Structure 1
Amino acid sequence: SSTVRRFQDIGLRDMVTASSPFSKDPNKSEGSLIIVNADRKDLNTIDDLKGKKAAAGRVTAFGMYLAAMGEVAKAGYNPQQFFSGTSFYGLDRDKIIEDVLTGKADVGILRICYLEDAVNRKVVDPTRLKFINLQPEDEHICLHSTALYPNWSIGSSPNLPAAYVSAVTAALIHQKPTALGIHWSVASDYTELDTLLRALNLGAYQRFSRLWFGRMLHEYKYVLLGAGAMLLLLLTYTYLVSKLVERRTRQLRVSLERENKTFQEAKAANERLLRMQRAGVVGQVSGLIAHELNQPLASIKLYARALQRASEAGTLTEAKMKEVLEEMRADADMASAIVDRVRQYAKGRDSGRQTLALSELA
């Protein structure tokens, strides 16, 4: 039944389900029995089985693996990481029991009623085994450790004509029961099975697996191709734009470097010109200062020479000396005033303006 339900999202539908005299309800005929060695006092609940070695049928087997993993998921564990390792033996259920009894496996997973069959065949003494998570026997006469699910089912694909579905369904239901009393019936409740598939992330609830990706690729191939083409165009456009921006940036950097070099050269030339101008101004100012100071200094020199000659000739009088010293002091004041005006100009101070007669100045 799990196979039919796992592919219901692609149109597979259940037609009939096997029903047996061991179960009162065809909706509750399938399950698993979890066994451990009776000597293992440390193994009593599902929690105790975490990290242990297991033996089971197949990874896709419902009663001999999946149903038991549903109970692991109910206990709050990740089924894919629950056991440290699992040995799969297909339909060789006796090998599963043997591994548990010999200690090769800590826990075994059997399909419902497989234990009773082994006991009838005298393969195992049930007292040597202990059963984990045992459920009440209200719905099924065989021991089971899990919830119960619909039994073997036959499903139809969406391509099968409705007339064929009806004919096959009617033919199967009217078949005579087998020697064990198994016959075809109709299951009406798949709630527990859907809950199990959801917990195990299987079938319609399967996401991000290889099968899921394959189905998505097949169903949305044209959309994915279009999206891929758009993405390729976008990547190409982005690459071309980045190259263009890179080239423009390189050109701009070269231009800026050239402009900066030109600016530095102009700055250096301007600094040289300013130095030359300052040198010229200094020369002019120096000449003007020398010219202005030369007159009072020359006068002072002449007056001093005149006093020296008068003293040597014995003609120097007190009145003459006083007159010459006053003239020398006036020339010294003139030189001092020139120096003060130059200093004020150098400091940027305004010396003030005066109104003078041009004739007197000349």
Structure 2
Amino acid sequence: MFASSEDKPVVVAINSAVNPLLTKEFVFQTIDTLKKAVSPRPLEVKFLELPQLEQDVKSRKADLFLVTSNFIKKFQTEGAKDLTVAASPFSKDPNRSEASLFIVKADRDDLKKISDLKGARVSAGRPTAFGMYIAGMGEIAREGFNPNTFFSVSRFHGLDRDNIIRDVLNGDSDVGILRICYLEDAINRKILKDSDVKFINLIEDGKHVCKRSTALYPNWTLASMPSLDAGLTSKITVALINQPRTKLGNYWQVGSDFSELDKLQELLKIGTYEKVTKLSIRRFLLDNVHYFFFAFCILGMLLSYSYFLSRAVGKRTRQLKEALLREKFLNQETKTAQERMMALQRAGVVGQVSGLLAHELNQPLGSLNLYARSLIRAADLQKLTNEKLIEVLDEIRKEAVKASEIVQRVRSYAKGEKSERADIFL
């Protein structure tokens, strides 16, 4: 047996961060109204943190969800439809009720305006939190700064908003981003005193009781998914609008102006505009696919040419290196051979000089020997006269001169000097 559609529960997912802007009394009163509106079908209630809630919406596990208006806009392309917007005594207009507040430590005289926060350390809820991050980043973008690079360090604490305040008071962060009315709630709970902090870009225009630093956006919203038929969504909408106000003054009404939220999402390129941007890029790629293919082919050819060119250059470089090494080796071999040849030439010159000296000097030296012996013999025979002595010494002088001339010619020859040929008469 299959269960009928009336037995299938209607699932409502509620963001766990719903308090303190919406009191428990109002939330549980809303749950009772929904139970009556969807009867006889049962109502299943889930309190989820934002990441899990997003997963449930994407996987169609929720039929209704109570979240920030920014969340609804993000999932409009998947069929999310806002039914009612919460109204509170804190704001005169439920379409202008949600915002962020920048807080810094009271003694930070260097921080007075948004531009002073550039490069500062920030504490916030989480990157997807609307009041505790996104609305604040929108105000930074309006000042002309890039919100993605504006802060040097970002610390996220999820739903633990008190840690954002502690970071600022302890000096762990320079600035904190709080959802509107969280400061007043923290003061009531004695987490801090109003004099402990000061506010950046404080806006006071009477449109909201609580302090704020940004533009105002639609309040918490109850939305439906396509899994609910039109009849049931209409019944739910009527029931919520007719729900009595709480003692604090909370009630439901139909939202009529989401223009500020559209401007914010367009400015930050989030939500619907993030998807539109992605689709535009995809369409651009599809429309110009042939150009990209052509460019890819050209790039491939250039890369191939570069590859083969680098290989050819590398091969030629190796060949040149090898040629240089061979040339260096041959130069060394030539130098060694030249040194050996020069040594042999020097040895030959020495031999030639030695032979030339022996041959040329032999005669004058022999003559000197004979003249010396003739003087000794004449002296022994007592026949040595002054005339004879002078005559022999003159001959000795001549032979000595001749030997000197021979030595001089040999030296000139050894040096490679040119010499004139001459006849020598002995």
TM-score category of the 2 structures, normalised to the smaller one: 0.5 to 0.7
Map of 1:341 onto structure 2: 409
Of structures 1 and 2, the one scoring higher in RCO (CA 8 A, sep 6+) is 1
Q: CA contact under 8 A between 1:29 and 1:148: conserved in structure 2?
A: no
1:253-308 deviations in whole A, cap 9, x for unaligned?
A: 33333333333333333333333233223222222222221111111111112222
Output the CA distance in 1 between the equivalents of 2:368 and 2:187: 147
Match status 1:81 vs 2:153: yes
Q: CA contact under 8 A between 2:365 and 2:403: conserved in structure 1?
A: yes
Map of 1:264 onto structure 2: 332
1:160-182 deviations in whole A, cap 9, x for unaligned?
A: xxxxxxxxxxxx9xx99935473
Q: Which residue identity is paired with 1:182?
A: Q
Q: Which residue identity is paired with 1:81?
A: V
Output the CA distance in 2 between the equivalents of 1:349 and 1:184: 121
Correspondent of 1:309 among 374, 377, 386: 377
Q: Which consecutive residues of structure 2, in runs of 5 or more, have no partner in the other structure?
A: 1-68, 170-175, 222-233, 243-250
- Tell me by how many angstroms 1:108 deviates: 8.5
Output the CA distance in 1 between the equivalents of 2:108 and 2:135: 16
Output the CA distance in 2 between the equivalents of 1:79 and 1:271: 77
- The structure-2 alpha-carbon separation of the partners of 1:17 and 1:33, relative to structure 1 and needing over 3 Å to count, comes to farther
Match status 1:63 vs 2:135: no
Map of 1:185 onto structure 2: 256
- The structure-2 alpha-carbon separation of the partners of 1:338 and 1:229, relative to structure 1 and needing over 3 Å to count, comes to same
Match status 1:318 vs 2:318: no
Q: CA contact under 8 A between 2:70 and 2:261: conserved in structure 1?
A: no
Q: CA contact under 8 A between 1:27 and 1:148: conserved in structure 2?
A: no
Map of 1:167 onto structure 2: none
Q: Which residue identity is paired with 2:254?
A: H
**What aligned pairs does 1:1-362 form with structure 2 within 5 A after superposition?**
2=70, 28-32=96-100, 56=125, 59-68=127-136, 78=150, 81-83=153-155, 85-88=156-159, 109-111=178-180, 126=188, 128=190, 133=199, 135=202, 138-151=205-218, 178-179=241-242, 180=251, 182-186=253-257, 193=264, 197=267, 220=285, 222=289, 234-346=302-414, 353=420
Output the CA distance in 1 between the equivalents of 2:311 and 2:127: 53
Q: Which residue identity is paired with 1:144?
A: K
Output the CA distance in 2 between the equivalents of 1:257 and 1:317: 81
Q: CA contact under 8 A between 2:85 and 2:252: conserved in structure 1?
A: no
SS of the aligned residue for 1:109 comes to strand
- Tell me by how many angstroms 1:35 deviates: 9.2
Q: CA contact under 8 A between 1:32 and 1:68: conserved in structure 2?
A: yes
Q: Which residue identity is paired with 2:212?
A: S
- The structure-2 alpha-carbon separation of the partners of 1:32 and 1:311, relative to structure 1 and needing over 3 Å to count, comes to closer
Q: CA contact under 8 A between 2:180 and 2:212: conserved in structure 1?
A: no
Output the CA distance in 1 between the equivalents of 2:103 and 2:345: 109
Q: CA contact under 8 A between 2:74 and 2:271: conserved in structure 1?
A: yes
Q: Which residue identity is paired with 1:337?
A: E
Residues 214-223 or 317-326, more deviating: 214-223
- The structure-2 alpha-carbon separation of the partners of 1:202 and 1:25, relative to structure 1 and needing over 3 Å to count, comes to same
- Tell me by how many angstroms 1:70 deviates: 5.5
- The structure-2 alpha-carbon separation of the partners of 1:330 and 1:183, relative to structure 1 and needing over 3 Å to count, comes to same
Output the CA distance in 2 between the equivalents of 1:137 and 1:294: 133
Q: CA contact under 8 A between 2:361 and 2:406: conserved in structure 1?
A: yes
SS of the aligned residue for 1:257 comes to helix
Output the CA distance in 1 between the equivalents of 2:183 and 2:342: 111
Output the CA distance in 2 between the equivalents of 1:301 and 1:243: 85
Q: CA contact under 8 A between 1:16 and 1:153: conserved in structure 2?
A: no
Output the CA distance in 2 between the equivalents of 1:125 and 1:327: 141
What root-mean-square deviation, in Å, do the aligned CA atoms of Structure 1 and Structure 2 show?
Answer: 5.8
- Tell me by how many angstroms 1:326 deviates: 0.9
Residues 43-52 or 229-238, more deviating: 43-52
- The structure-2 alpha-carbon separation of the partners of 1:191 and 1:205, relative to structure 1 and needing over 3 Å to count, comes to closer
- Tell me by how many angstroms 1:30 deviates: 2.8
1:234-269 deviations in whole A, cap 9, x for unaligned?
A: 555444433333333333333333333333333333
Q: Which consecutive residues of structure 1, in runs of 5 or more, have no partner in the other structure?
A: 37-41, 90-95, 119-123, 155-171
> What is the percentage of aligned positions where both structures have the same residue?
37
Q: CA contact under 8 A between 1:26 and 1:185: conserved in structure 2?
A: no
